[in-house]
């Protein structure tokens, strides 16, 4: 671990500790049990300017056009979708974390000394205070990437919109999760909202998670409806192990190339394994 990583993680750790000590006074801590129905749990009793954060860390961007760029990651907790394959269930299916203010997060980024910031989740665009956080990060000279499923637009502007529209096959099992299956299907693909997000961003990449070749016609249709150029489209294998990535590449990469799309690996899994905080 680099010095910067150690500083950032220590900072977050000590903040969590402080917040936990404060719990018995008047600041609730959201280290939460399973809340199957929660989008952003604890919102009703939280200070207006705080965000529920599951983790922050310094790492290299593992996906898309900035792959390899050292970045500070801020992962908000809570999501309005429930993809069956979600690789961060601790920020979606069972959202957990601590409440940090916009000022806490600005300080954390400044202390890291890293100028690329990645806001991810969960779904960062449903987090209260996210627009103010992003605006202030950019005024301070940071490059801000937003990793989002693009289902809502809170009026945000960023340097790189990393949009990952969710396909039909991402819907959770109807029998096990009837409420979320319905909500997921209703919410996952608002094309006009996505177009608005694209228009407001300095640059956009569109990353589709692909689990099977059957999904390619649906991807082509979404690309057509979003009116984006093929070279901004990335096909990324569904998977959280090197074995899954290696199995997908031989069939998925040629499909991307054929369409003028790019193939997208998930380098963080190759570099660090599927571990939190990387
Ligand atoms: C955890 S999501 C958080 C941001 C936002 N909710 C979204 O889905 O774009 C971050 C990125 O991981 C991708 N992702 C999540 N689970 C995955 C999996 N099992 N395989 C491949 N990519 C995955 C998402 O599509 C997205 O590009
Ligand atoms: N290294 C690294 N790169 C990433 N790119 C997108 C990520 C995400 O979870 O949104 C991610 C992540 O969690 N780690
Ligand atoms: S939208 Fe993103 S965070 Fe939410 S469940 Fe799907 S992959 Fe996970
Ligand atoms: Mg990830």
139-161 pLDDT, tens digit per residue, is 999 999 999 999 999 999 999 99
Q: Is the beta carbon of 63 within 6 A of some atom in ligand 2?
A: yes
| Cα of 126 from ligand 1 centre, angstroms | 15
44-57 pLDDT, tens digit per residue, is 555 557 999 999 99
User: Residue by residue, what is the 3-state secondary structure of 114-130?
Assistant: CCEEEEECCCHHHCCCH
How far apart CA 120 and CA 116 sit, in angstroms, is 13
Q: Which residues of 75-99 are buried (b: 16+ CB within 10 A; e: fewer)?
A: bbbbbbbbbbebebebbbbebbbbb
| Cα of 224 from ligand 2 centre, angstroms | 27
Ligand 3 atom at minimal distance to the Cα of residue 82: 5
CATH number of 50-272: 3.20.20.70
- ipTM > 0.90, yes or no: yes
Whether the model pTM is above 0.80: yes
| Cα of 25 from ligand 4 centre, angstroms | 34
Mean pLDDT of the 67-75 span: 98
CB contact at 8 A, 119 and 130:
yes
């Amino acid at each position: 671990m680099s010095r910067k990583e150690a500083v950032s993680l220590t900072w977050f750790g000590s903040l969590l500790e402080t917040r936990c000590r404060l719990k018995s006074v008047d600041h609730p801590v959201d280290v939460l049990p399973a809340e199957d129905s929660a989008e952003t749990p604890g919102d009703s009793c939280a200070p207006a300017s705080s965000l529920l954060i599951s983790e922050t860390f310094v790492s290299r961007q593992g996906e898309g056009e900035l792959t390899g760029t050292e970045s500070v990651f801020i992962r908000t907790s809570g999501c309005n979708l429930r993809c069956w394959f979600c690789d961060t269930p601790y920020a979606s299916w069972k959202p957990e974390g601590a409440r940090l203010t916009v000022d806490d997060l600005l300080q954390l980024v400044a202390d890291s000394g890293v100028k690329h910031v990645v806001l991810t989740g969960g779904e960062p665009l449903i987090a209260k205070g996210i627009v103010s956080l992003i605006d202030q990060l950019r005024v301070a000279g940071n490059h801000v990437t937003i990793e989002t499923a693009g289902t809502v637009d809170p009026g945000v502007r960023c340097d790189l919109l990393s949009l990952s529209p969710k396909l039909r096959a991402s819907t959770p099992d109807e029998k096990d999760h009837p409420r979320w299956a319905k909500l997921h299907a209703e919410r996952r693909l608002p094309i006009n909202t996505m177009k608005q997000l694209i228009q407001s961003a300095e640059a956009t990449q569109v990353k589709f998670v692909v689990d099977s070749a059957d999904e390619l016609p649906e991807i082509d249709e979404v690309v057509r409806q979003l009116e984006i150029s093929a070279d901004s489209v990335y096909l990324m294998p569904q998977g959280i192990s090197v074995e899954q990535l290696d199995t997908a590449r031989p069939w998925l990469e040629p499909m991307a190339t054929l369409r003028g799309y790019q193939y997208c690996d998930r380098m963080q899994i190759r570099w660090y394994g599927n571990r939190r905080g990387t």
